[in-house]
Amino acid sequence: MTYAAFQTAIGRINDVLCTLNLLNWDSRTVMPSGGVAARAHQIATLTDIARDMATDPRLADLMDSIQTNDPLEARAVAQARAEIDVLRKIPAQIISDMASLKTHANAAWVAARADNDFAGYAPVLKQMIGLQREVAAAIGTGGHPYDAMVQLYEPGMTYARLTAIYDQLKTALVPLIRAAADGPQPRTDILTRSYPIAAQRKFGLRMAQAMGYDLTHGRLDDTVHPFEISFTRDDVRITSRFRDTWLPGGLFALWHEAGHGMYEQGIDPAFTRSVFATDLSNLYAVGGASFGMHESQSRLWENRVGRSRQFWALHYGDLRATFPDQLSEVTEDDFWRAVNAVRPSTIRVEADELTYDMHIILRSEIEAGLMIGEIEVDDLPGLWADKMNSYLGVTVPDDRQGVLQDVHWSHGYIGSFPTYTLGNIMSSQLFAKASGDPTIKAGLDRADYAPLHGWLRDNVWRHGRSSSPAETLERVTGGPLDPAAYITDLSTKVGALLA
Ligand code: ZN
């Protein structure tokens, strides 16, 4: 009886959070620009309501009174209590200060980026970093202050653990990047011809459906920054950004977001509106075990499947039939090489698979330094340029292409960048395990993605938030988080590109 009341209470919080997701989806896709101010009020009000519901003392009393022998029920209650504890620790005043600062910080960032004026942005960034330091202190894990921020997105992760992973990656990646950059360069001009967007969209969506993204519970729209968002597993929407003269941009973003989407669509229906589909610390309706695990699924379909040689051996004919004039003299091998070209550059969102993690490592090291007070905002432009030079050998020409390129810090998202690299690592661990299964491998060889889709659904997606990332990896791969499989995938790829 009390457990049913607990489920009802969490279900109602989930309803509010899904409604917030719907408002966010709308504001990022179809809302007219004049709707911004009113929408900000609506989002703030609903967030306050969700926070009040989650921190209501009656819910805490209810959780205390539940006695159950069912391990899943016990876990649901323990997880809700732990997540709400984190939420309670952050003073309401800081949340509200941050919400109002976010709007100003975003506007200051847009202006500073346009004018290449870091000094104009620094004061507001200092305020934001100050608030984030307070959040880290309020959560107080007892370890490095950055741990508190990272654990909002990746339960159980610490900066010490990240540093060890980053060292392993740097050691492996730096020589690989150099070898690929010094090797023969693929012709990438074939990707910048004129490719009508309607045909790109149709081909991309056909592939996403072949992978298993279900359009009866989903839809695709266009945006500036692609994303996936869900309002329970029954309505899981994705967006992409197609450009007429940059073929891979829209296609790979679509398959990336479809990977996120299939995760949400694959959650056990019994977990709908439950704590296993609700992130109470972040007040976000989501069904994935963590941000990193979520990213592992998008990277798996985007890179392990979509950028593989096998994928293009099977589908290049279809792409060429879609664009017969543009690709008439382009071979399947040319195309596969072009979409895997390695080119160190200053911009993270345009980075290839090999150099991408160096951009993340740079940001995490800076974020950790900011949180512990070893780095101050005024140090950022110089530090950024030095690290870019030492990790990727590129010169940062101005702050617009350096420290001002990402919006994350303006929104207070300190600690989320590492989950991109953790996702890459987990994608290779899970894919190595899956593709060792003969049925899955045979499926991949004939463009039948159902066996891989079914395996991921049963082993990862179905569990929602009821398993942590570490538990998921242990259960599925028999071991902990380990960059070895990812490093193997990248060195195999460089080997093939150089062959
Ligand atoms: Zn993603």
The answer to whether the Cα torsion of 439, 440, 445, 446 is positive or negative is positive
Alpha-carbon distance of 169 to 172, in angstroms, equals 5
User: What distance in angstroms lies between residue 357's CA and the mean position of ligand 1's atoms?
Assistant: 14
For 68-113, how does the pLDDT look when each residue is reduced to its tens digit (9 = 90+)? Answer: 999 999 999 999 999 999 999 999 888 878 877 887 888 899 899 9
User: What distance in angstroms lies between residue 260's CA and the mean position of ligand 1's atoms?
Assistant: 7
For 471-493, how does the pLDDT look when each residue is reduced to its tens digit (9 = 90+)? Answer: 999 999 999 999 999 999 999 99
Pairing verdict, β 236-240 and 228-230: antiparallel
The pair of structure tokens assigned to 387 is 């690290």
For 425-481, how does the pLDDT look when each residue is reduced to its tens digit (9 = 90+)? Answer: 999 999 999 999 999 999 999 999 999 999 999 999 999 999 999 999 999 999 999
* Helix, coil or strand: residue 415: coil
Alpha-carbon distance of 100 to 21, in angstroms, equals 19
C-alpha to C-alpha distances, 272 to 15, 25, 72, nearest whole angstrom? 10, 20, 14
302 DSSP assignment = I
* pLDDT band at 160; cut points 50, 70, 90: very high
* Residues with Cβ within 8 Å of residue 57, at least 6 apart in sequence: none
User: What distance in angstroms lies between residue 280's CA and the mean position of ligand 1's atoms?
Assistant: 20
The per-residue b/e assignment along 474-494, b for 16 or more CB within 10 angstroms, e otherwise, is: eebbeeebbbebbbebbbebb
Nearest to 208 by CA among 491, 419, 453, 476: 453
* Helix, coil or strand: residue 91: coil
For 274-285, how does the pLDDT look when each residue is reduced to its tens digit (9 = 90+)? Answer: 999 999 999 999
H or E segment to which residue 168 belongs: helix 159-182
pLDDT at 350 over 90: no
Decide: 3 and 36 in contact? Cβ < 8 Å.
no
Q: What residue type is assigned to position 44 of the chain?
A: A
User: What distance in angstroms lies between residue 470's CA and the mean position of ligand 1's atoms?
Assistant: 19
User: What distance in angstroms lies between residue 213's CA and the mean position of ligand 1's atoms?
Assistant: 15
Question: For the residues of 95-139, what is the DSSP string, one character each?
Answer: HHHHHHHHHHHHHHHHHHHHHT-HHHHHHHHHHHHHHHHHHHHHH
**What integer pLDDT is reported at residue 329 of this predicted model?**
96
- Count Cβ atoms within 10 A of the Cβ of residue 61 and give its class: 0-12 exposed, 13-18 middle, 19 or more buried: exposed
Nearest to 207 by CA among 243, 234, 238: 238
The pair of structure tokens assigned to 234 is 């029954």
pLDDT at 39 over 90: no
User: What distance in angstroms lies between residue 259's CA and the mean position of ligand 1's atoms?
Assistant: 8
User: What distance in angstroms lies between residue 415's CA and the mean position of ligand 1's atoms?
Assistant: 15
For 359-393, how does the pLDDT look when each residue is reduced to its tens digit (9 = 90+)? Answer: 999 999 999 999 999 999 999 999 999 999 999 99
Query: What is the share, in percent, of the chain residues with pLDDT greater than 70?
Result: 100
User: What distance in angstroms lies between residue 473's CA and the mean position of ligand 1's atoms?
Assistant: 19
The answer to whether the Cα torsion of 280, 28, 218, 213 is positive or negative is negative
Q: Write out the catalytic residue numbers.
A: 257
